[in-house]
Amino acid sequence: MTDKAMKPETIAAQSLGWIDEITRAVSPPIHLSSTFIRDPDNQFRSGREYARSDNPTYDQPEAVLAALENGKDAMLLASGMAAATACFLALKPGDHVVIPKVMYWGLRLWLFDFARSWGLDVEDIEMSDLAAVKAAMRPGKTKLVWIESPGNPMWNITDIAAVAEIAKKAGARAVADSTVSTPVLTHPLDLGCDVVMHSATKYLNGHSDIVMGALVTKAEDDYWERISGVRSRIGGIPGSFGAWLLLRGMRTLFPRVKLACANAQKLAEHFAKHPRIEAVLYPGLKDHPGHAIAARQMSGGFGGMLSIRVKGGEGAAIATAARVKLWKRATSLGGTESLIEHRGSTEGPGAPCPMDLLRLSAGIEDAGDLIADLEQALDGNS
Ligand SMILES: *Cc1c(COP(=O)(O)O)cnc(C)c1O
């Protein structure tokens, strides 16, 4: 069966069905060698020279990711941040980039701090407002439009196809951080993006036991070449064992993400009208401002991430998180275990995140257990 004929669930479950040619192993070996033999005639016929640029343990997870995202090629990097920053470092000082106001906080900080001082002209806008996206384009100057949908931690929805189209018309590339949407729910390359980025630390691996990043490209063009150069020259590469764990984690990507989506939807619906909650932010709720667009560009669910705004402000939110027993009070997302985080404490002053907000990463536990634990935690807010 060719790769094209396989459904994505099958590709993920069997890691493309590859069998190790030498040992006939179903689960692949881990290659640890840092260097590779040069042929007597001075060539590298194996195609590999040194493991900062060529690691055979990356081949299968990268092939799986390229297949799941309908891309031409994929690249593993040391972290989601290494993947995201490589997309900006592949540009040139003086280039103009447009980013959303609501996005992963760590990357936003890096862009305003490091990237600006390095010479990128960084502009943040409300990416769900297409008129604002159009107005921000400076043809010839704008080189990259960064999309994150749903956007951390308010879960704003961006119309990916519309933004990618506006970027293209202005001669800019569109890159999507699809960490929260996962290849199970959304295909940014099919919607017109040039590159898709993942913090593989999250759903792709899914077990809260590695930090890793990934990029997938629609075309093997100059931009991809430059990104590849950033990875191999700066050396932001993952270790072989981590790459193997990612491959193992992705085998269960589909059932994990589907369960997390179902749990998030149940949590959102249960707490939507709760007397101790001001608002539930989740694109799967019909009254979410991005619901219709999300329904169009996400299939099979609205993601495992939601936030609640707790009545009583910052103190009540932190106290609620302090009382959970089953939920784990920790940053990150996309693991099998449900996580709760007072996001304002993590992002610090200056962040657009409201201080009464708790960010919830729904895991794959029993939904009733998760609801009951959050109910008892909220009950203490009298
Ligand atoms: C975690 C995360 C990142 C950063 O990834 P790391 O693997 O922690 O470096 C970027 N974007 C989103 C949406 C994330 O959740």
Q: What is the pLDDT of residues 216-263, one digit of tens each?
A: 999 999 999 999 999 999 999 999 999 999 999 999 999 999 999 999
pTM: 0.97
Whole-number Cα distances in Å, 84 to 141, 317, 321, 343: 20, 31, 30, 21
- Confidence band for 351, pLDDT divided at 50, 70 and 90: confident
Which of 156, 201, 347 most suits a substitution to test ligand 1, by most atoms within 8 Å of the C-beta? 201
Q: What tokens were used for 256?
A: 């994990």
Please state the CATH superfamily assignment of the domain spanning residues 253-379 in this structure. Answer: Aspartate Aminotransferase, domain 1 (3.90.1150.10)
Residue whose Cα lies nearest atom 2 of ligand 1: it is 199
Q: What is the pLDDT of residues 57-111, one digit of tens each?
A: 999 999 999 999 999 999 999 999 999 999 999 999 999 999 999 999 999 999 9
pLDDT at residue 3 in the model: 57
State whether the beta carbon of 198 lies less than 6 angstroms from ligand 1. Answer: no
Q: Which of 162-176, 224-238, 340-354 has the lowest mean pLDDT?
A: 340-354
Residue nearest to atom 7 of ligand 1 (CA): 80
Q: Which residues pair with 358 in a beta bridge?
A: 308, 342
Domain ranges across the chain: 3-250, 253-379
3-250: CATH topology:
Aspartate Aminotransferase; domain 2 (3.40.640)
